[in-house]
Amino acid sequence: MTRSAAPDPAALSPRLPSPLQEVADDRFGRRGLRLLLKRDDLIHPELTGNKWRKLAPNLRAAAGRTVVTFGGAYSNHLRATAAAGRLLGLPTVGVVRGQELAERPLNPSLARCAADGMRLHFVDRSTYRRKAEPGTLAALVRAAGAEEAHVVPEGGSNALAVRGCRALGEELGEQADVVALACGTGGTLAGLAGGLAPGRRALGIPVLRGGFLAADIEALQERAFGARRGTWSLDERFHFGGYARVPAELETFAEDFTARHGVPVERLYVAKLLYGLVALAGEGAFPRGTTIAAVVTGSPFPAPA
């Protein structure tokens, strides 16, 4: 049987390059700093931000095959992959951390995945932690009934995704001195740094605890480019206790930023990024005259009406 032509993500009409918006915020202005927002959240209404940049090259590589990927109960990446599958007519399988979740009603995030046609396969947390080991990965894919699938790692971060995110740095050109973004698995920062113009630097704000991300980013750049690329660093102080932790202080900050600038602030990543930048500006971390571009990598979930 002849396989039909693989769907092309470009058919979904992404808004690229994404808009660059300057905001007047006195917490930066009084220190002689400019703040720009790189509105990757406006690339596509369902495949927002870095999810588009990381998924599009993987969807092309899938060439019409099932896509299997990994994530936790509130994974933005799982939702984006499920939405891509629905929009492009691709079967998707999500391997979800936490076997105990199989016995519970689906939370809104996983319910969205299921509604978009993603088949959910729950695994125990111990096995999930070993998913990068070749034997464990093969067993997980086999157990999910997806042996012939294109496998995308947790967070979508692989060499294809890193090369896809290089365009983010290229789009910014010389418009910013420092480009900052929140980091989960590090793939977006790895690619962004590889695409920045000479003399520009990338700053990552990890949203998970652990101090492991620098080594992961170096490894991703090695696989994508053959060596470390660009000037980049991490500030590990603004994770607020770990992934999906949104204490009252951060919630208040996000609400205030939206009220000031009319920009919906996603809580798990973007709020931590913006909070960190305000704190760093207050510490005098940026010389006067610095232009900072903050990458808005996603929209709040559920998306505003």
What pLDDT is stored for residue 211 in this prediction? Answer: 86
- Run of H or E residues at 178: strand 178-183
Shortest CA distance to 161 belongs to which of 221, 82, 72? 221
User: What residues contact 259, with CB distance under 8 A and at least 6 apart?
Assistant: none
Distance separating alpha carbons of residues 62 and 138, to the nearest angstrom: 17
Written as six digits, the tokens of 124 are 């125990």
pLDDT tens, residue by residue, 43-54:
999 888 899 999
pTM: 0.93
pLDDT tens, residue by residue, 189-226:
999 999 999 999 999 999 999 888 999 999 999 999 99
